[in-house]
Amino acid sequence: MKRFVVIGLGNFGATVAEELYAKGHDVAVLDTKEEAVDRISRRVSRAAVGDGRQIEALERIGTKSATTAIVNTGDDVAASILATLALRDLGVRDIYVKVVSSDHARVMEKLGVTETVFPERESGQLLATRISSPGLLNYVDLGSGFSIQEMAVPDSWIGRSLRELALPRRYRISIVAIHDVLSDTIRSAPDPDAPLKESDTLLVAGRNEDLAKVAESK
């Protein structure tokens, strides 16, 4: 079990807190709005009304024993900076900050946060990638031109095996796993001789340009 602190209970912060708690972790949350704290209090370990910029408020929810914090202060860039400095003073090792612009991200990166998160931009990029490639079901950007994508099996591949298709040689991509959506089973080490089915989706890794060619396959 890990210990997390979430500052700010907007949609992003509340969702992260609830998901971490559901996964069995110790989660303390802090927000200036009493109604936001009340809504989530039964779905986290500890919830308190307070200002994440104040060390006393952070200490009250046990921040000193946490190794990871998530800062979600909305459009208030100054609040995210001051909250991050307070967390650093309390010895929190990993700090993730939701940012609202590229300039905001640059400032937080200068402060040495573990990662900046820009949900609106990332969601927009994901949607644009998905709707521009009709066969694409999901997408994870790994950076440096690489990604992992979930795609439907092209019609011309149905009934053929991975060995027969020779995808690493033909497309320079690798099949990480196969998901049978009918039985909801995932094979992380797929049988190279098993024929692909219409109900399968493929988890594929490779360079973005190579994956684009695969997504266009018929």
Structure tokens at 197: 């089915």
pLDDT band at 65 (very low <50, low <70, confident <90, very high): very high
Tens digit of each residue's pLDDT (9 = 90 or more) over 5-45 = 999 999 999 999 999 999 999 999 999 999 999 999 999 99
Q: How far is CA 141 from CA 80, 122, 123, 150, 206, in A?
A: 26, 9, 12, 12, 10
Q: How far is CA 92 from CA 29, 58, 117, 216, in A?
A: 15, 11, 18, 46
Going by the DSSP 8-state scheme, the letter that residue 16 receives in this structure is H
Q: Do domains 3-117 and 122-215 have the same CATH topology?
A: no
The model's pTM: 0.69
Assigned fold of 3-117: Rossmann fold (3.40.50)
* E strand intervals along the chain: 3-7, 26-31, 46-49, 68-71, 94-98, 115-117, 136-143, 146-152, 173-180, 185-187, 200-207
97 and 113 in contact (C-beta within 8 Å)?
yes
At residue 17, the pLDDT reads: 96
Residue in this structure with the two tokens 């340009």, named with its chain if needed: 209
Lowest-confidence segment of 54-58, 95-99, 133-137 by average pLDDT: 133-137
Tens digit of each residue's pLDDT (9 = 90 or more) over 146-164 = 888 888 888 899 999 999 9
Domain covering 122-215 in this structure, CATH number: 3.30.70.1450
Domain boundaries, the chain: 3-117, 122-215
175 and 189 in contact (C-beta within 8 Å)?
no
The values of phi and psi at residue 98, to 5°, are -75, 130
